[in-house]
Amino acid sequence: MFCYDHNTLIIMKFIFNTVKDQLEPVVTNSKGEYEINVDLQWSGTITPTKQGYTFSPPYYNFSNITEQQNMQNFIGNYSHSLWTFDVSNYKHQGMITAIVKDDNENLIQSEKDILAAFVNNECRGVSSPSPVSDGKRFFLQVWSNENSENMYFKFFDSTNNKIYNRVLPDVHFIPDLEYGTILSPAVLKVKQPYHIPDANNDGKVDIIDAVDVLKYITNFQ
């Protein structure tokens, strides 16, 4: 059984939630395939979830299952608005499973937070946190036409309505990249922007102020 992107039929990764009997969420593999093992005569609902996507069908209902269920596939439609891109423009994909922290090692994972990947200011993937058994993870699918290129990140903190343009470390993209797992996620850290003061009080911030600050730090005369 699979999940596909609506426009390109490229297989995506999604998390599935099942209701009744409180089954653990299931994550598809890198090919978009998923499998859920249930007891005989199990009843419940399988619902695909991924921030920024709607699905067709939105769910499957099952009642008193007595045999294997095949072809329970979903089509995902991308709908993020802050940063947008068209997956049909790219032929290679990778998956980043991550958590995001601030400089004080605090997790940042509100429901409406957004982690995005970029190359030369071109968005290559977006994700919001999804719940797993021990917290939340960003399942960020990234895209490229190159066999090797550097990707950097930006982060939208919905709680403080703030965009971080520095999120470290960068990632070296290769086709079928797998960076981080649910149990051992990649750790990305947002960085505050540098602020250089108007050191000489001339009403503007320029290279002279930067030199003055450097002199002060190094005690250079």
Neighbours of 176 (CB within 10 A): 10
24 and 102 inside one domain? no
Residue 214 is assigned to a structural domain of this protein? no
176 and 102 inside one domain? yes
97 and 63 inside one domain? no
Q: Running DSSP on this structure, what letter comes out for residue 87?
A: G
**Which stretches of the chain drop beneath a pLDDT of 50?**
1-21, 221
* Structural domain span for residue 114: 87-190
pLDDT of residue 158: 87
Residue whose structure tokens are 């007891």: 39
Residue 108 is assigned to a structural domain of this protein? yes
- Of 49, 78, 107, the residue that ends a domain is 78
pLDDT of residue 12: 38
pLDDT of residue 201: 66
pLDDT of residue 195: 55
101 and 45 inside one domain? no
Six token digits for residue 77: 């439609």
92 and 48 inside one domain? no
Residue 180 is assigned to a structural domain of this protein? yes
- Of 78, 100, 130, the residue that ends a domain is 78
pLDDT of residue 35: 79
100 and 59 inside one domain? no
Work out the burial of residue 101: count CB atoms within 10 Å of its CB; fewer than 13 is exposed, 13-18 middle, 19 or more buried. middle
Q: Running DSSP on this structure, what letter comes out for residue 7?
A: T
Residue 198 is assigned to a structural domain of this protein? no
- Of 78, 110, 125, the residue that ends a domain is 78
Residue 197 is assigned to a structural domain of this protein? no
150 and 131 inside one domain? yes
